[in-house]
Each structure stands twice: as C-alpha cells, then as structure tokens.
C-alpha cells in the first residue's frame, strides 16, 4: 500500500462568504408562519380532490360503482383508470407503476378512483358513496415468500477475489449472522400536497410540496399524454422530504393533474397524515445475512453478504436504493475477497422508495454490528479492529476504486473518538459493578458514503443554474434542485456571492420551476451542494469574466470598483449580465457482472459514537451523548452543516431505537403520530458535530456532500453501545449480541436479549 500525503483544503486565501455561518434566508418566514406552503394557496374556482384507496393488500376489482357519487352535490368528476388520456403509468426506472389500479389492486393504499368536488366535505361524501366490489386474493407479504416465489425484480452483485478460499482457511475465524431492519417513516412535518391547474393555453401547471419537480413533470406528461413543454411543475415551500418526496409525489401530482385536466378547474389535493402514512413510500425493510473471515488479530480477509430489500408492489426506485447498499455493503474497509448479492423483491405491500441513506442504513446496521460482534469474539477492541482495516489514501475499495483524494477518514475517526473519550469510557464502563441494574455503554460505527447518483444514475447527473444580475447589483438564481429544509438556498447564495464578489444578502434563489431551468436531476444523494453548487459557480464565472473584460477595455480598474458600481458601469456598456451554468460530474463506472468500477465520484467519510444508559429492569435505553464526525471536503456553511448533523443523528436514533411500522394482512396499523413514535427534541441527547475537510478537487471549494451521512451509522453505534453496556453483566455475550440483531432496539427487544443472555 502506498500512502500519498493527504490533500488538504485547496488554498482559497480570501474566502469571504463560503465557510461562514450565514443565516438561512428562508428561516424568518418559516418561523413566523408567513412562508407559503401548498395548503396556504387557493385558486379561484378551485376544487378539492379525494382518492379512493384499496383496503386490501391484493384483490381483483370486480367493479367500481360510481353512478351515485357522480350525482352528488358539488361533484365535478369521478375518475378511474379508464379516464386516463395518456398512459396509466408513473415512469420511473421500470414501467410497472400504475397511476390507478386497473383490474387488480396490488397493495393496501393503492389508488383506484378519484373525486373532485367544490368543498372538501362534498369530496369526502362522494368518496364514501363509491362502491367497489373486490375479490380478495392471497397476498405475498414477506421477503422470504417473495424470494421463494421468484418475485425478484432486481439482483446486483459485487464479486472480488476468492471468498471460498478464505472461508476454508483454518487459520481464520469465520462468523455469520443475520440482521433485520424495519420500515421507517419519513415523518416530514408537511404531508404530501399539490394544486394542479390548466394554464389556459393548452398546458397544465402543478404546484406542490416536492423534492424532484422534473420527476413529477415526466409523470404528468405520461398520464395526460402531453409534451413536457406543456407541463410546468413549481416547487413551493416544502415542509421536509428526507427522500419521501423524491419519487412519491409523482403519484399525487399526476392524480391531481388528471382531475384538473378533466374538470378544467384548479384542483387542490392535500393528503391527510393517515393517508400519507398508509400509501406513501418508506424506508425498505431489510434482511441481511453477513459472513466474515478474519485473522485472529482482526484483519478482515473475506466478506459475504446476502442483502434483501422488500420493495413493495412496484419497482419505483428500489433498483438504485439496493445498488447503493450493494456498493457499501462491505463497510469502509480494505476487503480483498468479497461476494455480495443484493435482491429487491416484489410483495403486496406499500412501494418503498428513497429515504435518507438510500439503502445504506440497512446494510450498514448489519455490517457495523457484525464488526463489533467479531471484535468481541476475537477479544479485540472494536476501535482497534476498525483501525486495522479502514480505507485510507492509496487504498482500493471493494469495487476496485483507487482512493486518491479526499480520504479524511483517519482524521474523522481520531477526532470523533477523542471528542467522545471513547477509549477511556470503554474502560470506565467495562469496570461497572456487574450487579448494577442501570448500566452505561459506548458504541462506535464508521461509514462511507458515495456522493451523488453514481454510475447507475448517470443520465440524471448534470445540473444547471440560471444566474441573472440586475442593474442594481442584485442577483437572481434559478436552479433545478430544491430546498427541502437542508439549507440549499443558503449554500447556493453563499457560492454565488463568493464567485461574484457581492453581498450574500444581494442573492435571491427563486422557487424551482421546470420551465425556467434545464432538468437538473433529483435533489437526492447529498448531491445538491456539489452539482448545483458547481453549476452556480460556472454561471457566475461567465458573468464575471464578461463584466471584467468589458470594464477593463473601457479603461476601468476593476479592483477599485465595488460590485454594485461594476454592475452599473457594465450595464451602461450593454454587457450580458446573465448566464446559464452547467455541471457534469467526472465519469463513474460499474460492471454488472463483477461489480467492479468507480461507482461514485468521491466519498464522505464518517464516524459516530453513541453513549447510552440501559435500564436492565425495563430494557429502556436513554442515549446520553452522540459524537458525529464527517469529512465533507469543505463546509460551505457550518451552521446549516451542524443542523444536518443534529437532524440526521436524531432520525438515526429513531431508526435504531423506536421507529417501526406494524402490519396486519399487509395493512399498516400505526398510521398516526400517536402510534408511530418518533424522537422529539425532548429525546435528543447531547450531539457533538465534528467537521473534517480533506478537499475534493472537483467539488465547489473542495466540498462533497453531507445530507444523508449523519443518519447512516447511528443505529449500529447505538446498538453496539447497548451491547457494551450489558456485556459485563451477562452469562452469554454471544446470546446478548444475537439478541440485538434486529432494530429498532425497543425496550421489549433489549429486555429479551438481556433475559436470554442471562438464562441458564
Ligand atoms: Mo435521498 S434518500 O437520495 O432522496
């Protein structure tokens, strides 16, 4: 292994705005309640939509009786699949996702009929008057059933070296275990909602709470049979997404557009919380069989993983969610021999989709819990075992990607474990009185995250930005990515101000509108700072170059002019002070036979420690302190960055400790916040964010991505902490670890693991 010196932050001697904790421009209105969300808007003559959804996981639709509803007061339309003018299809990776069930329903919550009426009450009454005759069919509900039946729609693999030779090597310790992860609800504050209206000149406009307006544009175009230039999608202030508004809003967006198209009226469709929780996408439940071979001193020699995701009734984004898990399944370690197989299965359950981490949190829970159990078996310290295997400059990933730049992993792990006093606390808690019923522990998990869409999403990779400088020196940016709470408006304003040399308060980012910018791909995969950031830079640089050249030719010393004065002079010289920026990332590759390639342009490196207190009498776990560190390349705004870390940590604690959906016959039972429990600020422990900056040369000022990484390693770190808290007071440590292979680690599960580990 050759270790090249770390490349640190490139020398930006005079950064004025980038790196500063600039306040969010959208914060005051959001805090005061004056921001305009979709349900704050109303159009003249607006109708209200309701959607009839299947109560059955699987059934034949014998008939839908609409006559009574059609006659009711205020009702303008009752529509079923036969009323769709274009295709009954939401285009996504595969063409299998129906807009409205036709002949058969495939999951509980699937839409099969629509109503538009003058008031919400009239729409409710019309919905209640619809009669559907179903012939229930036997549903397929579990990963195991679907796999046995061959209902697999995606299979990916990574094959490297010779795992069988390693597993047969008697000098190595081989260990295998199976892990399970639950559904997770996005729990955005604002449910899905849209308003669709004919535009009065042959087209349609949809306004909504969205992550990816260009996805909705394609869905509406397909369903109405319209060319894309007649379909305009505008994103409004959006109360959270977390992946849940990536693919999912294409359904309410196209349903509402269909009603608007058929009635010729504006139609508003706001989903109730119950409807949203039953019918919209979630994090895929996962099952992961994990097998490793390691030397007695903890060097990992081989990893074999079988990774299964329950994709639900339609393919939606499952192939790419699964692929991200595949690529990261062996952890951020040097693994010379690997066999990873990943399958997404089709069942009669709600289609799952994007959720912060996108297929990584499931497999990372397994891999990082596995490393701790392996370390325990080998009698090694879990930090030392990770240090002995972790990737560094000059190493090659499991897919054969050489790591040449921006690998601040060692620094992240060092700084996080120092800030957490990891080793001292391990010793302190190891020395706890074994009879004490309330016990403390500290756990660690380390992760990496390929930034952006990677080799599988190549065609969606580029991003555009329109930059317009007005005569008064103010700047308007239009981009194709969205603000969903993560801080995009702030970060892009800072980048524009830095490039142009203007005040950050002079920059305004307008709402994304598909008619105003080129398709810039989705706002996902922690790609917005990188992709839209580079597009904004490109546009600003074009303007600045033109402006400076014209001013110099006219005899001005540009260095003596303020930005406002320079703009005034340049305006007088008829200089074009607008430009379209464009960014296309470096090449990525993936060989579908071997899994070999450079799947992502670069990686964000992370480490998390979680300290917990466990009450062995009840199984209750209280997180005390979390240290969450990330090599982000360059932190554009430390305040929004810390916000991302705090939010990701709390969402990760929810995933690891409390959140799960319970289903009966394929129906989600807990579809309200009174029964689907998420952590609140009252449950948040002390959170210490750590930022490390090993610049990524292609990134804006060296930046990579941070959106998803803070969530990914939290669940294994908290479960490893629980095991650490209990392991000094059980008869069988093996039984303890075995009892902690399923999240969430609810009091029931923790108590059961404790009880089993102490049984004779
Ligand atoms: Mo994000 S889960 O890639 O929308």
Handedness of CA 273, 278, 279, 280 (dihedral sign): positive
Which residue has 């999608």 as its token pair? 233
Which residue has 């391990």 as its token pair? 426
Low-confidence ranges of the chain (pLDDT < 50): 1-11
Judge whether 210 and 253 are in contact, CB under 8 Å. Answer: yes
What is the whole-number distance in angstroms between the Cα of residue 509 and the centre of ligand 1?
22
| Predicted pLDDT at 760 | 76
Q: What is the CA radius of gyration of the chain?
A: 27
Determine if ligand 1 sits within 6 Å of the CB of residue 215: no
d(CA 497, CA 491): 10
Determine if ligand 1 sits within 6 Å of the CB of residue 366: no
**Six token digits for residue 629:** 């560190």
What is the whole-number distance in angstroms between the Cα of residue 254 and the centre of ligand 1?
21
The pLDDT tens digits of the residues spanning 495-517 come to: 999 999 999 999 999 999 999 99
| Predicted pLDDT at 12 | 58
d(CA 647, CA 84): 41
Best mutation site among 708, 709, 710, 712 for ligand 1 pocket (most ligand atoms within 8 Å of CB) = 708
Determine if ligand 1 sits within 6 Å of the CB of residue 595: no
Own/partner pairs, 501-504, CB within 8 angstroms, 24+ separation: 501/16, 501/544, 501/563, 502/473, 502/475, 502/563, 502/564, 503/563, 504/17, 504/22
Report which of 12, 103, 712, 48 is spatially closest to residue 366, judged by C-alpha positions.
712
What is the whole-number distance in angstroms between the Cα of residue 754 and the centre of ligand 1?
36
What is the whole-number distance in angstroms between the Cα of residue 721 and the centre of ligand 1?
27
Best mutation site among 212, 324, 364, 525 for ligand 1 pocket (most ligand atoms within 8 Å of CB) = 525
d(CA 467, CA 476): 6
Report which of 387, 452, 449 is spatially closest to residue 416, judged by C-alpha positions.
387
pTM given for the model: 0.97
Determine if ligand 1 sits within 6 Å of the CB of residue 243: yes
| Predicted pLDDT at 7 | 43
Determine if ligand 1 sits within 6 Å of the CB of residue 247: no
**Six token digits for residue 545:** 């170059």
Give the ligand 1 atom nearest the CA of 356.
2
**Six token digits for residue 60:** 């034949």
Where do the DSSP E strands lie in 616-734? 620-631, 663-664, 667-668, 686-692
**Six token digits for residue 56:** 């059955």
**Six token digits for residue 643:** 């916000």
Determine if ligand 1 sits within 6 Å of the CB of residue 323: no
Judge whether 232 and 203 are in contact, CB under 8 Å. Answer: yes
d(CA 317, CA 248): 10
Q: β-strands 231-235, 204-208: how paired?
A: parallel
| Predicted pLDDT at 2 | 42
What is the whole-number distance in angstroms between the Cα of residue 651 and the centre of ligand 1?
14
For 477, list phi and psi in degrees, rounded to 5: -110, 135
Determine if ligand 1 sits within 6 Å of the CB of residue 246: yes
Judge whether 260 and 61 are in contact, CB under 8 Å. Answer: no
State the alpha helices, DSSP H only, in 480-574: 488-500, 528-553, 563-572
| Predicted pLDDT at 8 | 42
| Predicted pLDDT at 497 | 98
Give the ligand 1 atom nearest the CA of 358.
2
Determine if ligand 1 sits within 6 Å of the CB of residue 483: no
d(CA 250, CA 510): 22
Q: Give SS3 for 40.
A: helix
Judge whether 299 and 380 are in contact, CB under 8 Å. Answer: no
Judge whether 655 and 360 are in contact, CB under 8 Å. Answer: no
Determine if ligand 1 sits within 6 Å of the CB of residue 248: no
Report which of 624, 629, 623, 625 is spatially closest to residue 645, judged by C-alpha positions.
629
| Predicted pLDDT at 459 | 86
Q: Give SS3 for 27.
A: helix
Helix or strand holding residue 325 (H, E):
helix 318-328
d(CA 276, CA 668): 11
The pLDDT tens digits of the residues spanning 204-248 come to: 999 999 999 999 999 999 999 999 999 999 999 999 999 999 999
Judge whether 481 and 531 are in contact, CB under 8 Å. Answer: yes
| Predicted pLDDT at 13 | 62
| Predicted pLDDT at 456 | 93
């Amino acid at each position: 292994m050759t270790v090249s010196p770390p490349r640190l932050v490139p020398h930006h001697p005079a950064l004025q705005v980038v790196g500063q904790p600039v306040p969010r421009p959208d914060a005051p209105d959001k805090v005061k309640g004056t921001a305009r969300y979709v349900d704050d808007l109303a159009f003249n003559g607006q109708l209200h939509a309701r959607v009839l959804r299947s109560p059955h996981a699987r059934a034949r639709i014998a008939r839908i009786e609409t006559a009574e509803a059609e006659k009711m007061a205020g009702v303008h339309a009752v529509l079923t699949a036969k009323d769709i003018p274009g295709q009954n299809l939401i285009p996504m990776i595969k063409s299998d996702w129906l807009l409205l069930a036709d002949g058969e329903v495939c999951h509980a919550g699937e839409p099969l009929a629509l109503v538009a009426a003058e008031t919400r009450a009239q729409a409710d009454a019309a919905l209640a008057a619809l009669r559907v005759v179903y012939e229930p069919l036997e549903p397929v509900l579990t990963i195991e059933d679907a796999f046995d039946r061959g209902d697999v729609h995606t299979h990916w693999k990574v094959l490297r070296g010779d795992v069988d030779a390693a597993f047969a090597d008697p000098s190595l310790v081989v260990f295998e275990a199976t892990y399970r992860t639950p559904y997770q609800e996005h729990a955005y504050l604002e449910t899905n909602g849209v308003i669709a209206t004919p535009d009065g000149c042959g087209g349609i406009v949809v306004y909504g709470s969205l992550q990816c307006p260009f996805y909705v544009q394609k869905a509406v175009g397909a369903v109405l049979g319209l060319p894309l230039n007649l379909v305009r999608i505008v994103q409004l202030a959006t109360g959270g997404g977390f992946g849940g508004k990536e693919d999912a809003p294409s359904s309410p967006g196209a349903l509402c557009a269909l009603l608007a198209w058929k009635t010729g009226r504006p139609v508003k469709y706001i989903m109730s919380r119950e409807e949203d929780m039953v019918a919209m996408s979630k994090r895929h439940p996962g099952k992961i069989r994990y097998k490793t071979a390691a030397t007695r001193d903890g060097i990992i020699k081989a990893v074999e993983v079988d990774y299964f995701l329950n994709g639900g009734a339609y393919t939606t984004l499952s192939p790419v969610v699964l692929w991200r898990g595949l690529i990261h399944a062996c952890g951020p370690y040097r693994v010379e021999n690997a066999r990873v197989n990943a399958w997404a299965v089709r069942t009669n359950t709600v289609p799952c989709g994007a959720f912060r981490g996108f297929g990584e949190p499931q497999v990372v829970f397994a891999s990082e819990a596995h490393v701790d159990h392996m370390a325990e078996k080998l009698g090694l310290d879990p930090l030392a075992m990770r240090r002995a295997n972790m990737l560094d400059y000059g190493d090659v990933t499991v897919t054969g990607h050489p790591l040449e730049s921006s690998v601040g992993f060692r620094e992240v792990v060092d700084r996080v474990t120092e800030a957490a006093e990891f080793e001292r606390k391990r010793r302190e808690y190891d020395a706890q009185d074994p009879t004490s019923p309330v016990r403390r522990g500290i756990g660690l998990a380390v992760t990496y995250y390929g930034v952006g869409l990677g080799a599988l999403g190549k065609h969606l990779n580029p991003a555009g930005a329109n930059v317009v400088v007005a005569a008064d020196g103010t700047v308007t940016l239009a981009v194709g990515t969205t603000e969903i709470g993560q801080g995009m408006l702030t970060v892009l304003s800072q980048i524009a101000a830095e490039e142009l040399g203007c005040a950050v308060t002079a920059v305004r980012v307008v709402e994304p509108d598909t008619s105003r910018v080129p398709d810039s791909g989705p706002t996902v995969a922690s790609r917005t700072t990188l992709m839209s950031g580079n597009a904004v830079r490109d546009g600003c640089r074009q303007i600045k170059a033109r402006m400076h050249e014209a001013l110099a030719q006219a005899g001005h010393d540009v260095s003596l002019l303020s930005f406002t004065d320079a703009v005034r002079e340049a305006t007088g010289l008829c200089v074009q002070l607008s430009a379209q920026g464009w960014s296309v990332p470096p090449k990525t590759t993936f060989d579908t036979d071997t899994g070999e390639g450079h799947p992502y342009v670069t990686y964000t490196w992370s480490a998390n420690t979680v300290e917990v207190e466990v009450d062995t009498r009840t199984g209750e776990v209280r997180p005390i302190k979390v240290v969450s560190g990330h090599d982000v390349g360059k932190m554009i705004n430390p305040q929004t960055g810390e916000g991302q870390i705090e939010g990701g940590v709390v969402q990760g604690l929810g995933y690891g400790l409390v959140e799960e959906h319970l289903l009966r016959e394929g129906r989600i039972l807990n579809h309200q916040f009174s029964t689907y429990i998420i952590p609140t600020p009252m449950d948040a422990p002390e959170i210490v964010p750590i930022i490390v900056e090993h610049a990524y040369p292609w990134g804006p000022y060296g930046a990579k991505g941070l959106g998803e990484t803070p969530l990914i390693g939290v669940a294994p770190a908290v479960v490893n902490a629980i095991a650490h808290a209990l392991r000094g007071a059980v008869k069988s440590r093996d039984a303890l670890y075995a009892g902690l292979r399923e999240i969430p680690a609810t009091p029931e599960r923790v108590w059961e693991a404790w009880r089993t580990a102490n049984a004779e």
